Amino acid sequence: MLTYEDVMTTDFALLTTAAGKWDDMAGEFKKVEGRYEDSVQSVTMGPNWLGVSATTAHTNFAATRYEYAAAQTQAKAIASLLRDAHEQFVELKKRVQSARDDAVKAGMKVSEYGAVSYDYSKLTDSERSAVQHDPDARSVEQSWARRIDDCVKAVDDADKGVRLALEAVVLDTIGDKNDETLGTGFNAHAKGDIELYEAESQKEIATRINNGEKVSAAEWAEFQRSFRDNADNKAFNQTFVNGLGPDGVIKLNDRLNDFAHDKDKKLDRDRFQDIQKGLANTVAGATRVPGSVADSPPGSKKYQDWVASPDGKFYREFTEGLDKSGTKNFGSNTEPLYGYQLFVDMMDHADTPYDDQFLYALGDDLIAAEKDNSGIFTKWGRGHDGVNTDAVDGLLKVMSKNPDAATAFFDPDGNGTGENHVANNHLKYLAGSGDDAREWPKNVITGYSVTTLDDPMSRMGLGAALEAATTGHPPLREGQSGGEPGPHTAAQARVMQETINTLDDKAGGESVHENLQKNLGRALADYAQDNHNILAEKGTKYGSPEGMDSVWKSGDGEAGITVGKDSLMRVMRGVSSDDQTYALLYDTQRTYAMEQLSQAPQAGGEGHEAWKNPASDMGSVLGAMNSIGSDVILDERDDKIAAVNDQARYSYHAIGAPVTGLPVFGDTAQRLVDAATYEWSKDVSSAASSVAQEKNSEHYTAGVGGTYSMIDSFARERGVDVMDENNSKKDPNWEAWQAMRREAKQSYSSSRGDAAVNLGWE
């Protein structure tokens, strides 16, 4: 393996010098070929030499001239390979140098051999002492060393590829009818691209893997290295994938999956999984399409014209082949495993996003396949290790890594304009219910009898894709903050609006599949502003409570949802069956309401309207949120009150560990919410306990204490003495504070009354 010293001291300019010599050699061979043609080969072409000897000489002399021409091709190819190598090495060396320079700027010293340590000569005595006693100092040094080592390894990877190409370029091609040397002459088909030789080499190894033949440890390592080194190279990607074809790619992933899940402890399962990732990234790179799905969606004229063009030849042939391989059974009759299932499983291993048009087209193909072959994605028996049987849901998970692709796939307005516009009903088909909606695959267990079960993994990909489509970012990881909520594009807002309306079809929003609850809850939290204004019935652009048919848009490109208040409440209730999701939504709306209140002027003003209005909005929003929480308790009474209390302790303001997806608001709002230490679980439990009595409006104020606590927190910051029961100081803001509480109570009660209707209490 190359070392840091090798990289930093090697004069790569010698490669271009050598390339020039090889070009010169090609020129010399061309001269020799001309002289040979004129002085030797021409003898066999005249009328003076006839017979068997003349025929034999003609053949041999032609073969010799062929070799002179082949020598030129080979010499030019070697020159091209050397220049290619020079370009790669120079670029990769710059990365090593950059990593070294960054380490030096960070206070490190890098030796001529690449060893990294703190540069104590640049530190003061106190700084030196602090570093020497810092238990993490060594890990910092190691971190910089790893970064430099990774850059050196990239040079070594490239060096292995160059060696492979130079060894292959001098091998004569067997089978050319004009070549009489039987593989011992010059290579008339030599190529000047390193990556093409690497792809050919890896195709040969992949074919042997697919055929069950022995592959050495060194070849496995080369296979892994080649994928890693050529992840972004289109020539390598398309040459390798084209060589295997869809069948070969699917079989290779099947074999790699078997190795990765083999119980034999002697196998390096991590290596096989890494190769699966490399294979997935290679296919992703090979299937790129110019433009975007928003401009030229599959099915549009622009897309079809490109597919039919010479540039689209590889893509066209590969996808046509995938259509056939996708519905082929690679498993057994009792436990079938279709090509689409294996192909989508491979895609899931990629750590680079797939092209949006390819994802869109493949999604359409998968849906068409299951409509033509009912049960193709059913899971039979135990299924297959590591493979998600439902290829449609698996593809949606892959799509979630490319949020723009997910948005385009679900946008109810379709994609493209004019003659390139293509409509779709993907959202209603996948998230809806009824005759036009998808019948999600089951898990069928056979034996003495046939048992059909719901797939516990069902819709997990759909949830991930909807979160990405509506927010513009990949699904959040556990414990990850949601960042600042929004802004959203019109397409993202349309997907969110249509998702809510689809789930609430026939007022069914309270029943959201459990595998959608977390993702949709995080998506809803990202629309905090819209939720607040809809629940508070604020702003004409929202049309609340009835809602609007289309999303709102602003001049600067932002957009948001305008669903009906009843639908929003029911869907919020549906996702709140998950305790953490309810905590997320509650904390989000509580903090956003305080954010709006914190923007009120320092004084309540005449009539106290400046303070009363945001307090009224807060009361409406928290009344709705408390009603949603209490409805969860009413439906699952046994454990839910305890669960809500536990969730209060888990919430952001209690222990400092964020609920996954919690948006980030302003510091002032955060401080005021923290100061309002009232436990919201008390409100929820109180509201639930009073529901049985809520046949008239006086009971609708149960649980308003948390709202008061937040208003009090706001008033304290504005200098109001909330403990002065009689306003002995005659503070006008004391009166404004009291007006806020009255206004909030009234709107809270009204919102709770709406909940009684929307959630079916009366």
Structure tokens at 294: 């928003």
The pLDDT confidence band at residue 693, using thresholds 50, 70 and 90, is low
Residues 6+ apart with CB under 8 A from 106: 144
The pLDDT confidence band at residue 603, using thresholds 50, 70 and 90, is confident
Exposure letters 712-730 (e unless 16+ CB within 10 A, then b) = bbbbbebebeeeeeeeeee
| Residue range 116-172, pLDDT digits in tens | 999 999 889 888 888 888 888 899 999 999 999 999 998 998 888 888 888 887 887
Whether the predicted pLDDT of 462 surpasses 60: yes
Whether the predicted pLDDT of 115 surpasses 80: yes
Residue with tokens 């190598």: 85
The pLDDT confidence band at residue 113, using thresholds 50, 70 and 90, is very high
Residue with tokens 């990909």: 461
Could you tell me if 134 and 123 are in contact, meaning their C-beta atoms sit under 8 angstroms apart? no
Q: What is the DSSP string of 170-204?
A: TSPPTT-TT--STTSS--TT--S-HHHHHHHHHHH
User: CA 30 to CA 746: how far, in whole Å?
Assistant: 96
Structure tokens at 466: 């909807």
Q: Do you find a cis peptide bond into 545, omega within 30 degrees of 0?
A: yes
User: CA 391 to CA 422: how far, in whole Å?
Assistant: 23
Q: Which of 186, 221, 185 is nearest to 201 (CA)?
A: 221
Residue with tokens 């403990």: 723
| Residue range 46-104, pLDDT digits in tens | 666 666 666 666 566 667 777 778 888 788 888 888 988 898 889 999 999 999 999 99
Could you tell me if 445 and 377 are in contact, meaning their C-beta atoms sit under 8 angstroms apart? no
Inter-CA distances, 206 with 195, 291, 718, Å: 16, 32, 71
The pLDDT confidence band at residue 262, using thresholds 50, 70 and 90, is confident
User: CA 707 to CA 730: how far, in whole Å?
Assistant: 24
Helix, strand or coil, per DSSP, at residue 552:
strand
- Model pTM score: 0.84
Whether the predicted pLDDT of 494 surpasses 90: yes
Task: Please tell me which residue, 300 or 199, carries the higher pLDDT value.
Answer: 300
Inter-CA distances, 320 with 298, 312, 324, 392, 488, Å: 14, 12, 7, 18, 36
Question: Residue 22 belongs to what H/E stretch?
Answer: helix 13-39
The pLDDT confidence band at residue 606, using thresholds 50, 70 and 90, is confident
Question: Residue 37 belongs to what H/E stretch?
Answer: helix 13-39
Whether the predicted pLDDT of 188 surpasses 70: yes
Inter-CA distances, 666 with 71, 561, 593, 653, Å: 71, 23, 11, 14
Q: How many C-alpha atoms does 154 have within 13 Å on its Cβ side? A: 18
Segment of 192-206, 280-294, 716-730 carrying the highest mean pLDDT: 280-294
Residues 6+ apart with CB under 8 A from 6: none
Q: Residue 529 has what pLDDT?
A: 96
User: CA 260 to CA 282: how far, in whole Å?
Assistant: 19
CA 99 to chain CA centroid, Å, is: 28
Helix, strand or coil, per DSSP, at residue 610:
helix
Name 379's bridge partners: 443
The pLDDT confidence band at residue 276, using thresholds 50, 70 and 90, is very high
Could you tell me if 492 and 530 are in contact, meaning their C-beta atoms sit under 8 angstroms apart? no
The two most distant CA atoms of the chain are separated, in Å, by 133
Whether the predicted pLDDT of 385 surpasses 90: no
Inter-CA distances, 592 with 22, 207, 489, 653, 712, Å: 70, 58, 20, 14, 16
Segment of 27-36, 122-131, 512-521, 630-639 carrying the highest mean pLDDT: 512-521
Q: What is the DSSP string of 236-253?
A: HHHHHHHHHHHHHHHHHH
Could you tell me if 586 and 678 are in contact, meaning their C-beta atoms sit under 8 angstroms apart? no
Q: Residue 692 has what pLDDT?
A: 64
Q: Residue 503 has what pLDDT?
A: 97
All structural domains of the chain:
4-190 (1.20.1260), 195-463 (no CATH), 495-758 (no CATH)
Inter-CA distances, 730 with 391, 597, 720, 740, Å: 70, 23, 11, 17
| Residue range 216-226, pLDDT digits in tens | 988 898 899 88
User: CA 542 to CA 563: how far, in whole Å?
Assistant: 8
What is the number of other CB atoms lying within 10 angstroms of the CB of residue 331? 16
C-alpha radius of gyration, the chain, whole number: 34
The pLDDT confidence band at residue 694, using thresholds 50, 70 and 90, is low
Sheet of 451-454, strand order: 379-380, 442-445, 451-454
Whether the predicted pLDDT of 720 surpasses 70: yes
Segment of 166-170, 230-234, 358-362, 725-729 carrying the highest mean pLDDT: 358-362
Q: What share of the chain is helix, strand, coil (3-state, %, to 5)?
A: 65, 5, 30
Q: Residue 171 has what pLDDT?
A: 83
| Residue range 395-415, pLDDT digits in tens | 999 999 999 999 999 999 999
Least confident of 35-39, 218-222, 275-279, 432-436: 35-39
Helix, strand or coil, per DSSP, at residue 445:
strand
The pLDDT confidence band at residue 670, using thresholds 50, 70 and 90, is confident
Structure tokens at 697: 């409006």
Least confident of 603-617, 658-672, 740-754: 658-672
Q: Residue 145 has what pLDDT?
A: 94
Inter-CA distances, 410 with 150, 175, 424, 439, Å: 40, 52, 8, 18
Q: Which of 195, 199, 179 is nearest to 187 (CA)?
A: 179
Q: Residue 490 has what pLDDT?
A: 97
The pLDDT confidence band at residue 579, using thresholds 50, 70 and 90, is confident
Q: Residue 510 has what pLDDT?
A: 93
Q: Is 547 left (phi over 0), alpha (psi -120 to 50) or beta?
A: left
Q: pLDDT over 70 for what percent of the chain? A: 90
Could you tell me if 397 and 391 are in contact, meaning their C-beta atoms sit under 8 angstroms apart? no
Q: Which of 149, 158, 164 is nearest to 199 (CA)?
A: 164
CA 25 to chain CA centroid, Å, is: 50
Residues 6+ apart with CB under 8 A from 313: none
Task: Please tell me which residue, 65 or 241, carries the higher pLDDT value.
Answer: 241
- Angle, helices 217-229 vs 137-169, to 10°: value is 100
When pLDDT is averaged across residues 592-604 and rounded to a whole number, the result is: 92
Q: What is the DSSP string of 666-731?
A: -HHHHHHHHH----HHHHHHHHHHHGGGTTSGGGGGTT-HHHHHHHHHHHHHTT--TT-TT-TT--
The pLDDT confidence band at residue 178, using thresholds 50, 70 and 90, is low
Q: Do you find a cis peptide bond into 487, omega within 30 degrees of 0?
A: yes
CA angle at 524 for the pair 492 and 621, rounded to the nearest 5°? 130
Amino acid at residue number 449: S
User: CA 461 to CA 400: how far, in whole Å?
Assistant: 8
Question: Residue 641 belongs to what H/E stretch?
Answer: helix 637-650
